[in-house]
Amino acid sequence: MLAAYAVIGRFCLYLSLAPGYASPLFLPAGIALAAVVTFGRRLLPGVAIGALLINFLPLPGAPNPLTLPPLPQGLAALAAAGGAALQAWLGMLYFRRAIRPEIGAGRDVLRFLLLAVCITLVSSTLSNLAAVASGAIAPQDLLTSWLTWWIGDAIGVLLAAPLCWVLFGQPRALWQRRRLLVGVPQLFLVSLCVMLYVLVARWETRQHLEGFRLKAQQVGDLLQSRFSEHERYVFAMARAINRYGRVMSAQGFDKIAHGYLDQRPELLSMAWLRPVSEAERPAFDAWARDTIGPDFRIIAPSTEPGHTHSHSAHSHAEVPPGDHMVTLFVEPAVRRHYLGLDWLAEPVRAQAVREALRTGKPVASAPVALSMPGEGSGVVLLQAVDPGDGQPAAGMLLLAMQFDSYVSGALATAEFPHIQARLVDRSKPGPTTLVDQLSREPNDEDYWRKLSLGGREYELVLLPSASYMVHQHGWQSWLVLSAGLMLTGLLGALMLLTSGERALIQQQVKESTIRLREREARLQAILDKAADAILTIGADGLLVSANAAACRLFGYPAEALAGMPLAILLPEAESDSAARLLRNIASGATHEHESSGRRHDGSIFPIAISVSEVELPDGNVFVAILHDLTEQQRAQERIYKLAHHDPLTGLDNRLSLNLRLDQLLAQTRRAQGSAAVMFLDLDHFKKINDTHGHATGDQLLVAVADRLRDLLREVDTIARLGGDEFIVVTGGNVTPAEASQIAVRIVAALAEPFQLAGKTIHTGTSVGVAMFPPDGHDSATLLRHADTAMYAAKSQGRGNFQFFEAAMNAATHDRLMMENRLWQALERREFELYLQPQVELATRRVIGAEVLLRWHHPELGMVGPDRFIPIAEESGLILPLGDWVLQQTVGLLRRWQGSLRLAVNLSARQCHGNALLPLLDQLLRESGIDPALLELEITESAAMQDPERSRDLLRELRARGIKVAIDDFGTGYSSLSYLKLFEIDRIKIDRGFVKDIESDPNDAVIVTATIGLAHALGLGVVAEGVETEAQLAFLRSKYCNEAQGYLFARPMPVAQFEALAGRLPEPA
């Protein structure tokens, strides 16, 4: 509000008329009224501040009435701001009480006109009274200013208020429709009025400029006339002097000078110059001191800073030898400090003197700085007194004049004080500004004149002052603008009336139409809100109406369905008449009739139809309700697929497998044939999942399914039970030999590497085969026997297949029983630690022991680890069992508090799980034992399953101070190449090498090399299975560090080991 009021108000003030500062068009009055009426009194501060800025700040190029002292100016501006805010507030009160916001009726338009005329009296009265009181306008100009102010505000309200309401008035919809009918015509007419005003104002300006040019011509003629008069005078006076004796006395010069200077005050001085040669100088000096004064001497002019030439009277510079042109007489007396000045002693003055001597005509000098303070620049006019018969000149006449006072005098003589002048010397050495009174740069409409004086050219520029042009505005442009804008405002009021009545009629028509449409819409809404498509069909089979759901269902617009034959939508109606078909459906026993529909694009889709026949006076019609069955059928298909297929591979799942297997067995039984059930389990799938991630594992399962599909026949059934387990059921009559060939192809196909996301994955499969009917008569038995055969295949090295045998059932039963007993044994604490001493060979002292596990079963007795450890590995029991062993071992070390070391074997699952390190940290923290007394052994085969992960684990163990050993060294694939990879403390030579070192040279060489290699790498060596003194002697001769075996002691319970260790010397 503040910005709009201030900016637009400032522009409107450019239309102000002197002597006041009121504008005949003040749009902010209408803007303020419209904004306050629409948005409320909260905008009144913005109106007041905007008016204050307009009346207080100076306005370049326009009348500025409030150029007063700060206090009166502030009071006048505050009065104008208060008047503007009060006017807007009172207008808002009247408008909201008497006028409807839409200004649609005739009485509203008349009241708005009355508001514009009356309310604007407030600001004009208060503001002008304050302006008179503060001295901004004269009392005699009050009526004119008040009338202009009131008219400007009234026109502003009539024009700006409707335009503002078009932009933001309420009700919004009505005012938006008035943009073209009210806004555009008013803007056009306002623009037209402003254009006419500008044209008339320019005409007025040209008229006033004609008077200015006449005065400017008078000033230019006066200046040139006086220049020419001076030239004529000095020329005539020189001829007279030359004719009547050529001798100038002081009395004669005084008479000549005062006779001319007294009538021309713009001239500064007149002087007589006399030539003196160097030979004449002594005689001249004596004559001058005798005649003029004892202090007389010839002096040279000095140059003052900032001036090209100087006439300083107080120079004491001596003239150089040569010819001189000396100032002998000067009038008036105040200029006699020029006496003795040599005009040939300075180059520029000398040039003017020589030019005057050469031409014999008046010569003007270049601009010089005058000697008196504040006189500025001037010029001297020189005229030589020369007889012209070859004799030297008798002297020179000199006139000095000042241009500032010279030009001011000419302007005063013309009686035109509103002219500003600039005078420029255009002769060499370059343009020099002598007088500059201009307040702006001149243009082509200003007055330009060439002047000449003493052979030099001058440029005179005259232009009218801004105040003169402002005061020259006449009433013609004001009347054009005011009358045009008043007519525009009245036309806007007429447009308001016309548009309001038109809107009222449109509103009435719209309301009637809405009521009719509402009745129709209520009837149609019942149909359109229905989820199902509803069609009304005539007895002729043509569609009468359709709801929105029907349009969406068939893809036609409503107008296209009206009158369309039913056969286009229902292909079934093509083979029978539509009426007969609909009547049959309506009278049918079932609630719905399923058929097919045809969409606009020609696609066919399933639908359900129910029909009712309605009797009407003009004939029967059929009302058909249609329901799209596409999503229902898709949902049924999705449900069936989810129930019968594996979501990852798309193969049959367990449910579908059982159904198809039962069906196949029934068919095979009737045909007295045979079939094969194959149970597939991928090799190393868990390792692939852990190493490459579950996403790669899923991709592998999908790739396996694809290979099986490509490999097998369409009559064969492929199913996935979950995880990495697949089932293949052969169709047709398959013999064991044929089943064997199929299994071979499956094993070979899945042994080929898989390329998955840029990775090469190697896997394989183990296959168990069960034949029908020898191995079972039902699906459950066959699947169980095939599973048993698959485990038998895995136990024989993976990557092969096995047929089911009856003996496998007993082995499987034993394994399951053993697994159950193992879980019970852990709960019942049937496990016990056994310790086998480890001896330092150099001293045969016990330095530690290897921890072994024994199982005391109440029925089976002592069960060896070779029977239960593999089952614990496969079942996962090895993890809690291993944790229990570590807890018991750390407990022993804490109880002993000595230097005996205990070595514990880690299983592969413990090494590659995530629970080992947290458990060790907890045990070490709670027990407080020395970690170096605990040694963890990892077999080479377990370490080689995942070398990188094993290396990280061993590094973490050694970082905690725990000793690490590689068990069964030499039995793996790459023991030597990984000695540098793994961070370990010692290696254990497998008992297989120690057993035959006495008889097998190869074993002896391997043991010797292993010991030497370990020592070279800084590792300790422990030999396992030492049973004879000869083996001990060999190992000691090769500097083996430690050993264990039956030679020293068999594995024994903890109490027995503690007794044995107590009898032996303490290790160092």
pLDDT at residue number 473: 55
Domain boundary residue, one of 589, 608, 634: 634
What is the average per-residue pLDDT within 965-984? 71
C-alpha span between 745 and 738 (Å, rounded): 11
Q: Is the pLDDT of residue 479 over 50?
A: yes
pLDDT at residue number 772: 93
What is the average per-residue pLDDT within 859-872? 83
Same domain for 892 and 760 = no
| Average pLDDT of the chain, as a whole number | 81
pLDDT at residue number 1024: 93
Cβ distance 717 to 660 under 8 Å? yes
Q: Is the pLDDT of residue 138 over 70?
A: yes
The pTM for the full model equals 0.38
Q: What is the pLDDT of residues 615-640, one digit of tens each?
A: 877 778 888 888 888 888 887 777 77
**High-pLDDT (> 70) share of the chain, %:** 82
Same domain for 650 and 622 = no
pLDDT at residue number 65: 42
Instruction: Look up residue 79 and give its two tokens.
Output: 């009065």
Question: 306 lies in which domain range?
Answer: 220-416
C-alpha span between 1007 and 1002 (Å, rounded): 9
Q: Is the pLDDT of residue 902 over 90?
A: yes
What band does 520 get if pLDDT is binned at 50, 70 and 90? Answer: low
**High-pLDDT (> 90) share of the chain, %:** 20
Q: What is the pLDDT of residues 561-614, one digit of tens each?
A: 888 888 888 887 765 677 777 777 777 755 578 888 899 888 898 988 888 888
Same domain for 701 and 620 = no
CATH number assigned to the domain comprising residue 968: 3.20.20.450
Among 298, 273, 249, 222, residue whose Cα is nearest residue 380: 273
More confident residue, 807 or 127: 127
pLDDT at residue number 60: 45
Domains: count for the chain: 5
3-state secondary structure of 69: coil
Tallying the residues shown for the chain, one arrives at 1068
Residues in CB range of 914: below 8 A, 6 or more apart: none
Q: How far is CA 174 from CA 96, 99, 103, 135, 251, in A?
A: 18, 16, 10, 48, 99
H helices present in 295-420, as ranges = 347-359, 403-413
Same domain for 968 and 851 = yes
Same domain for 925 and 971 = yes
pLDDT at residue number 768: 93
Strand partners, 419: 464
Q: Is the pLDDT of residue 67 over 50?
A: no
Same domain for 798 and 655 = yes
Lowest mean pLDDT, pick from 116-125, 165-174, 472-481, 964-973: 472-481
Q: Is the pLDDT of residue 270 over 60?
A: yes
Q: What is the pLDDT of residues 248-266, one digit of tens each?
A: 777 778 888 888 888 887 7
Q: What is the DSSP secondary-structure string of 232-287?
A: HHHHHHHHHHHHTTS---HHHHHHHHHHHHTT-TTEEEEEEEEEE-TTTHHHHHHH
CATH number assigned to the domain comprising residue 658: 3.30.70.270
pLDDT at residue number 589: 54
Cβ distance 889 to 853 under 8 Å? no
Same domain for 394 and 245 = yes
In a domain, 33, yes or no: yes
In a domain, 993, yes or no: yes
More confident residue, 519 or 288: 288
pLDDT at residue number 920: 93
Instruction: Look up residue 959 and give its two tokens.
Output: 């970082």
Cβ distance 847 to 902 under 8 Å? no
Q: Which residue type does 196 have?
A: L
Q: How far is CA 892 from CA 759, 837, 925, 1021, in A?
A: 48, 14, 15, 24
C-alpha span between 216 and 447 (Å, rounded): 7
In a domain, 515, yes or no: no
Q: Mean pLDDT: which of 455-469, 833-847, 939-953 is highest? A: 833-847
What band does 313 get if pLDDT is binned at 50, 70 and 90? Answer: very low
pLDDT at residue number 933: 94
What band does 489 get if pLDDT is binned at 50, 70 and 90? Answer: low
Which three-class secondary structure string do you get for 976-1035?
CCCCCCCCCCEEEECHHHHCCCCCCHHHHHHHHHHHHHHHHCCCEEEECCCCCHHHHHHH
CATH number assigned to the domain comprising residue 564: 3.30.450.20
Cβ distance 703 to 688 under 8 Å? no
pLDDT at residue number 507: 64
Q: Is the pLDDT of residue 315 over 60?
A: no
What band does 311 get if pLDDT is binned at 50, 70 and 90? Answer: very low
Domain boundary residue, one of 416, 443, 463: 416
Q: How far is CA 1054 from CA 445, 836, 889, 1067, in A?
A: 127, 10, 10, 18
Q: What is the pLDDT of residues 723-733, one digit of tens each?
A: 899 999 998 78
Cβ distance 916 to 864 under 8 Å? no
What is the average per-residue pLDDT within 56-84? 61
In sequence order, what E strands does 309-431 have?
A: 317-318, 324-331, 363-364, 368-369, 377-385, 395-402, 419-425
In a domain, 302, yes or no: yes
- Scored b (16 or more CB within 10 A) or e, 730-750 reads bbeebeeeebeebbeebbeeb
In a domain, 406, yes or no: yes
C-alpha span between 275 and 816 (Å, rounded): 151
Q: How far is CA 257 from CA 249, 269, 329, 781, in A?
A: 12, 8, 10, 154
In a domain, 603, yes or no: yes
C-alpha span between 119 and 558 (Å, rounded): 58
pLDDT at residue number 860: 81
In a domain, 459, yes or no: no
What is the average per-residue pLDDT within 291-305? 76
pLDDT at residue number 476: 59
What band does 974 get if pLDDT is binned at 50, 70 and 90? Answer: very low
CA 862 from centroid of its chain's CA atoms: 77
What is the average per-residue pLDDT within 791-811? 78
Lowest mean pLDDT, pick from 49-53, 277-281, 290-294, 420-424: 49-53
Same domain for 1036 and 896 = yes
In a domain, 175, yes or no: no
What is the average per-residue pLDDT within 1052-1067? 77
Same domain for 227 and 102 = no
pLDDT at residue number 314: 41
pLDDT at residue number 312: 42
Q: What is the pLDDT of residues 167-221, one digit of tens each?
A: 777 777 666 666 666 666 776 667 776 676 667 666 666 666 677 778 888 888 8
CATH number assigned to the domain comprising residue 385: 3.30.450.350
Q: What is the DSSP secondary-structure string of 587-601?
A: T-SSS-EEEEEE-TT
More confident residue, 238 or 1039: 1039
Same domain for 667 and 629 = no
C-alpha span between 1056 and 482 (Å, rounded): 128
Lowest mean pLDDT, pick from 7-16, 52-61, 346-355, 1012-1021: 52-61
Same domain for 535 and 663 = no
In sequence order, what E strands does 668-777 have?
A: 675-682, 717-722, 725-729, 754-756, 759-761, 765-772
CATH number assigned to the domain comprising residue 165: 1.10.1760
pLDDT at residue number 814: 65
Among 567, 557, 517, residue whose Cα is nearest residue 537: 567
C-alpha span between 478 and 474 (Å, rounded): 7
Domain boundary residue, one of 131, 154, 170: 170
Q: Is the pLDDT of residue 269 over 90?
A: no
Q: Is the pLDDT of residue 921 over 90?
A: yes
Same domain for 370 and 343 = yes
